[in-house]
Structure 1
């Protein structure tokens, strides 16, 4: 079909393309400063110049917005985002584009028969953990979309099966981004579930049909009895929802210490000296759940998301026994394909001859027995 021409005689498609070219030309003329100056060496130097003491510094500005005092987040404008989306040139092989975690069948049936302490990967940053007959659920996300991005792999089991098999559960929320705090999922979980959230999220989560929401600040600790402690720890990230202004609520990671096992749930973060401090302050971490997602392009993502080498470095600094990669294989959030980080991590392990037995690259629905 031929293009419909406008009154001036030019095809409509050509007019649109001309506009896009003008926009692109204008964007290329004002390439974001961060894109122009970013190098891995410069980024590493910026991190090295930060001070561990600032991990303990006040982190709320006068306008009520939270920030990371060791390295405040660079401001990114709409043009920065548009420049990234319209000028991305990263290419991936067919294998890299197709790679995804397996989705194991019959998860509910296997879960019902599992004894002892375990880790179950539901998908993305949603893990079900059982320790001494107590259940913990991290960043529950069972919906088909995280606001806009659609799942490329389904959750390991339905939320109905979960609530049937796990009548009492503790929920950990790391921050308010839609792939970590899903309103539809939260409303379907038991109303009396005990929910732990960073500062600013108590009232929003209570509105998601929850009656026991406990708000915590960085470095705050709760004694949950029977030798169990939960500690809220800093990370380098940000927060925003349509109904919640940028950085109006806090973001965090969680350390769960029990008499038998210690687990670090890292949430979303860029690489920072917090890992070194956590390892020093809380020795004996058994499992570290480390984010491996959305790290391309590096000039845009480095502050908020670690690449694979940084995630491994953070894991080593934590002094943890086992690395559990999170947030890969479910949503396409960065330039890289959704499953790419899992493949990238496997390649890193092989190329750097690290001990592969310490890395638990799980399939969706896999139930990992804890040592």
Structure 2
């Protein structure tokens, strides 16, 4: 029945060319990154319209878009390091800890920053392939009032159970039109920010909200009713770019030009197969590396791989493909911090920038 409705397989129905896609991106204008991006109560990317996808397109991806992976590619996952709480408690100085997916714990001085926290077994429907390095209870033992950054409202980035379970005193920073929802998750100290908005939070610490190329939707919140963002955290120790979800766009170059001196770039490597379906909202590995270079960052930290099976590719495949890409392209492996779950990366001090 579905074959009849679609008329042909997605590979036949959907023609996708990397060259054509690259030309489409090249035609976008930098000035549009600063343009109006909300109309009729819905947000959009003014530099490039998101392609319309029908329900049949979704069915085509789910049922007919087949990519073959080797046994190694199907089974590869990050290692899970044991006794994370005990190791964190013994760690001195500033550090980055990968909890899993897009959830990182960053300690800067006496402050803790938690990105897109999800400790639940499922992101609405997809189940975890790997456990979080810390449980919600362990996080609450370790940190009394973290600063929380939310990139957008998709369930693997805004998890109601995790947000509700974190301390009420936490400060939460969210994209526009998401504060009302998050405040109802027992988080009264929630602040909305818009693209290019800056907030000085304390001496030496600034938070910047940045554009990405994605979309938003939840069961109780209509399509694109809230914004999607990246975050730039500027501190005395280092500058961090938390990328969230995005397709490749020239905003990386614009961000790097406007905010030079980024130290750590957390860039999504997930859900990019099949390309005909995913190319607008998710980057493949070559695009992610290109975005990293255009940011001018010192280190690339791949995110969102190894936890949930979201695209056609296996959950751990992006980490393996990134390793292969580094080797085949003769890139400097020291620039790429491909972390294991529970790994603690000591932050190399640099001059915080404003």
2:246–2:282 CA contact under 8 A, matched in 1:
yes
Q: 2:4 aligned to 18, 25, 35, which one?
A: 25
1:53 aligns with 2:46: no
- Deviation for aligned residue 1:27: 1.1
Corresponding position of 1:124: 101
TM-score between both structures, scaled by the size of structure 1 = 0.92
Instruction: Give the counterpart of 1:227 among 191, 195, 204.
Output: 204
Confirm or deny that 1:185 pairs with 2:162. yes
Deviation at 1:86, TM superposition (A): 1.1
1:156 aligns with one of 114, 117, 133: 133
Q: Is structure 2 residue 127 aligned with structure 1 residue 115?
A: no
3-state DSSP class of the match of 2:190? strand
Matched residues in 2 for 1:118 and 1:36: separation?
Answer: 44
- Deviations 1:276-322 (Å, cap 9, x if unpaired)? 00110000000000000000000000000000000000000000000
Superposed, 1:1-371 pairs within 5 Å as 22-29=1-8, 36-61=14-39, 63-371=40-348
State TM-score, norm by structure 2: 0.97
Task: Measure how far apart 1:29 and its partner are.
Answer: 4.4
Aligned-partner Cα distance in 2 for 1:90–1:23: 19
Q: Is the 8 A contact 2:9 2:65 kept in 1?
A: no
- Judge conservation of contact 2:168–2:188 (CA < 8 Å) in 1: yes
Q: Distance in 2 between matches of 1:353 and 1:32?
A: 32
Give 3-state SS (helix, strand or coil) of 1:186's partner: helix
Per-residue deviation at 1:259? 2.0
1:128-157 Cα offsets, whole Å, 9 max, x none, are 001122100000000000000000000001
TM-fit CA distance, 1:28: 2.7
Aligned length: 348
With over 3 angstroms needed to count, the CA separation of the structure-2 counterparts of 1:27 and 1:110, relative to structure 1, is: same
Q: Counterparts of 2:277 and 2:10 in 1: how far apart (Å)?
A: 12
Q: Using the alignment, how far apart are the partners of 1:119 and 1:95 within structure 2?
A: 28
1:4 equivalent in structure 2: none
Question: 1:222 and 1:113 mapped to 2: Cα distance?
Answer: 32
Q: CA RMSD in A?
A: 1.2
| Cα pair distance change 1:340/1:228, threshold 3 Å | same
CA contact 2:11–2:65 (8 Å) conserved in 1: no
Runs (4 or more) in structure 1 with deviation over 6 Å come to: none
Matched-pair contact (CA < 8 Å) for 2:9–2:64? no
Larger Rg over CA atoms: 1
Q: 1:87 to 1:31 in 2, by over 3 A?
A: closer
